[in-house]
Amino acid sequence: MTATAERSTTMTIFRRPESTEGFWSWVTTVDHKKIGIMYGYAAFIFFIVGGLEALLLRIQLAGPNGDFLTAAEYNAMFSTHGLTMIFLFVMPISAAFMNYLLPLMIGARDVAFPRLNAMSFWLFFFGALFIYSVIFFGDVTPPLGVEGVPGNIDPSQQTLLGGLPDGGWFLYQPNAGPSFSPGTAVDFALLGLQILGIASLVSAVNFLTTIFNMRAKGMRLLRMPVFIWMTMVVAFLLLFSLPIIAVALFMGTFDRAFGTLFFQAAGGGDPILWQHLFWLFGHPEVYILILPAMGIVSEVLPVFSRKPLFGYAAIVFAGGGIAFLGFGVWAHHMFSSALTPVAQAAFGLSTMTIAIPTGIKIFNWLGTMWGGRIRFTTPMLFAVGFVAMFVIGGLSGVTHSIVPSDWQQTDTYYIVAHFHYVLFGGSIFGLFAGLYYWFPKLTGRMMNEALGKTHFWIQFVGFNLTFAPMHWLGLQGMVRRTWRYAPETNFGPWNLAVTIGAFTIAVGILVFMFNWSWSKRKGPNSGLDPWDARTIEWSIPNPTPHYNYAENPTVTSLDHFWHMKYTEDSEGRAVRRDDADDTIARLEHDGRNPSSPIHLPNPSYFPILMASGVPLIAYGIIYHRGVAGKLLILIGAVISIGSLLGWGMEPLEEPHDGGGEHEPAMAEAH
C-alpha cells in the first residue's frame, strides 16, 4: 500500500500494525472477511482431527472384541470427538459463514465492533488449542474406575490419547467430578468450553448489533436474506443459553478445583442439577448448530430452483419458533433420570411441538423446488441432501418425544444415528452446500463441478452406510459408549458396514480437500454472478474487494439483486431484463472503482493479546495449588487487562489526514 498517514499523537503501547499482506496482516486483522476465513480454516483442521478420532472409534468397533483402543482411549476418543465436532467444527465454521457473509448480505462495511470480532476469533482459537493442550500439559492421573469392571485403568498403561477429556461431551456428573475423573483432562474441557463460550457470547452481541443497526438503506428486517435471519436467531440463542452453561461450567470447575459440593452426592449435592443446567444450554445448542445450515439451504435452494423462496416469512418465523420452543424441551434428554410423570408428559408434548415449525420449513423448501427449473449443481445437491437427511433425522427425533419409546432408545445407537442424521446429514451437508456456493465469493474462481459431484455422492453413500445401520443396531440393543461387544450379540456385520461407511466419508472429504486447494489456484474465473444469484452479496466483484461495497447499496426489495436482473411478464413469469448483462458489467466495473477514498478500521495487536491472556488464567486455575499456577493467573490477568486498557486508548481508525491509505486506484482484492 502507499505511504500511511503521519503517526498520530494518540497514546499507544505499540506502533500501529500496518501489514496488509502476509502473516502479521492475519494476526492483526480486524477485517470480517479475513476473520471469517481464519474461522473456516481453523474449524476445518478440527473437522479433520474430529474425523480421525471417529475413524479410530470405528476401527475399534469394526468387529467383536476389538482390541485396537484401550477402554480409556475409547472413552477419550468418543468424548473428544463430540467436543471437537460440536464446539471446534460446526460452531466455528458457522461463525465463519456469519463473519464473511453478514456484512456482505446486509450491505455493510464491516461488523459493528471489528476489534471485538477479532478477539472472538482468537479466543475461540486459543480455547480450542487449550483443550487439546491437555496432551502436553495435562496431569494424567488415571480414573479410579470401578473395581472388577473391565476397563479399570492401571497407571502404567496410561497412553497419550487416553489423556484427552473422557467424560462425554456433556461431562455428566458425578462421572466428571473430582472423585471419578481425578486427572486434569476434564478441567481442560470445562475451562476450555468456558473460553469458547466467551468467544461466542461476544460474537453474538456483535452480530446482533450489526444486524439491528447496520443494514443497507431500504433493507428492512423482512427484506433480509434468510441466512441473516437465522444468524440473528442463533445469536439470541447464544445470548440466552451460554450464560447458563457458563454457570454450570463454573460449578463443575469449582467442585474440582476448590472443593465445592454442587454435584457431590456424598456431600448433599445433586448430580441431576448438572443435567438440567447442561441441557438447558444443550438443547438450544443443537439449534445453534442446525439453524445456520438451514439459513444456507434457504439461500441455495431458491437460486438453483430459479424461484423465490416459498413462504419466506413462514420460514423466518418458523426459525424463531424453533429457537423459542428450544428453551422448553431440555428434559427430553433426561427421560431416564427419574423425572416426575407430569414433567415427562410436559416435556414429551413440548418436544412434539418442535415438529411444527420444523415441518413448516421442510414443506417450504419442497415448495421452493416444486415447479422450479432445477439445476443440480454441487451446492444444490448438498442442499437437497440436507433436506432429505434432515427429514430422516427429524422423524427419528419425534420418536424420542414418546417417553416409553425413548426409554427403549436412550443410550443406544439409535440415538447416535438420530443426532448424526440431523447434525451430519443436516448441519454438515448444509455447510458443504455453503462452501461450494460461496467459494467464488472468496476466491473469484469456481470449484470443479465433476469433483464436487463425486464428493457429494461418495459422502452421501458413505453417510447413509455409516449411520442408517446404527438405527438397527440401537433397536437391537447395542449400547452407546461401549468399548467392545461380544460375538454372540451378532452386532458384528452391521458394525463392519458402519466402519466401511465411515472410511467412505473420509474418502469423500479427501476429494473435497483436493478440489478446494486445486480450484483455489486453477479453477475457472467465476465472474461477478456465477450462479445467477438473488442476494446482494453477489452484486459486488469476486473475490470480495477489501472494502466490500464501493458505494453503500440501497435495497428496494427482497432478493434485490435478482430484481436488478429480472422482471415479470404479464403472467408473472420471470423474464431476464434486456440490460441485465450491462448491469452486471457496470457492477463489476463500479465495484472495483470506488468514487471516493474508503477508510477502514486499522489492524490492531490488542484483540489477539487480550485473548492470549485468557488461557494463561485457565492454566493457572487448574494448577492453582502451586506457585506456578498463581503466577500464571497473575500474568494472564496483567496481559488481558493491560490489552484492554491499550485497546481503550487506541482509536478504531487512525486519523487519515494526508496519507491515502486506500486509494481507489489501489483497490485490489486481498
Partner 1 sequence: MAETVATADTHAADHESFGIDNRKLGMWLFLSSEFLFFGALITNYLVYGGDTFGATVVPREVYDIPFTSVSSFVLLMSSLTMVLAHHALTTGDQNGTRTWLLATAMLGSIFLGGQVFEFYEFINVQGMTLTTNPASSAFFMLTGFHGAHVAIGVIMLLSLFGMAKRQGGLSQQHGMNLELVGLYWHFVDIIWIVIFTVVYLLGAV
Enumerate binding residues for partner 1 (CB under 8 A). 108-116, 201, 204-206, 208-209, 212-220, 239-244, 246-248, 250-251, 254, 258-262, 264, 267-270, 273, 277, 552, 596-601, 644-645, 647-648, 652-653, 656
Pick from 192, 168, 190: nearest CA to 258: 190
CA–CA dist 151, 71 (Å, integer):
5
| Cβ closest to partner 1, residue 374 vs residue 652 | 652
CB of 547 to partner 1, least distance (A): 9
* Pair 667, 20: CB distance under 8 Å: no
* Pair 74, 57: CB distance under 8 Å: yes
| Cβ closest to partner 1, residue 132 vs residue 278 | 278
CA–CA dist 153, 71 (Å, integer):
8
Is residue 566 within a helix (H) or strand (E), and if so which, with residue range?
A: strand 566-568
Is residue 575 within a helix (H) or strand (E), and if so which, with residue range?
A: strand 574-576
| Cβ closest to partner 1, residue 243 vs residue 524 | 243
| Cβ closest to partner 1, residue 202 vs residue 502 | 202
CB of 456 to partner 1, least distance (A): 38
CA atoms in the 13 A half-sphere facing the CB of 644: 8
CA–CA dist 17, 22 (Å, integer):
12
In whole angstroms, how far apart are CA 580 and each of 2, 5, 531, 633? 36, 41, 14, 61
| Cβ closest to partner 1, residue 205 vs residue 669 | 205
Exposed, middle or buried: residue 338 (CB in 10 Å: 0-12, 13-18, 19+)? Answer: exposed
Question: 468: helix, coil or strand?
Answer: helix
| C-alpha cell recorded at residue 530 | 456465477
In whole angstroms, how far apart are CA 471 and each of 222, 421, 449, 477? 40, 10, 33, 10
Ramachandran category for residue 307: left, alpha or beta (phi over 0 → left; psi -120 to 50 → alpha): beta
CA–CA dist 249, 283 (Å, integer):
16
| Cβ closest to partner 1, residue 462 vs residue 613 | 613
| Cβ closest to partner 1, residue 313 vs residue 645 | 645
The torsion angle over the Cα atoms of residues 526, 527, 529 and 532, rounded to 10 degrees, is -60
CB of 230 to partner 1, least distance (A): 18
CB of 645 to partner 1, least distance (A): 8
CA–CA dist 191, 129 (Å, integer):
12
| Cβ closest to partner 1, residue 204 vs residue 558 | 204
| Cβ closest to partner 1, residue 23 vs residue 258 | 258
CA–CA dist 439, 641 (Å, integer):
38
CB of 457 to partner 1, least distance (A): 43
CB of 235 to partner 1, least distance (A): 8
CB of 158 to partner 1, least distance (A): 29
Across 110-128, b (16+ Cβ under 10 Å) vs e yields bbbbbbbbbbbbbbbbbbb
| Cβ closest to partner 1, residue 237 vs residue 473 | 237
| Cβ closest to partner 1, residue 205 vs residue 388 | 205
CB of 237 to partner 1, least distance (A): 11
| Cβ closest to partner 1, residue 269 vs residue 425 | 269
CB of 341 to partner 1, least distance (A): 21
CB of 175 to partner 1, least distance (A): 18
CB of 7 to partner 1, least distance (A): 20
What residue has cell string 474508503?
A: 598
CA–CA dist 130, 155 (Å, integer):
24
CA–CA dist 51, 362 (Å, integer):
29
CB of 419 to partner 1, least distance (A): 25
CA–CA dist 606, 16 (Å, integer):
10
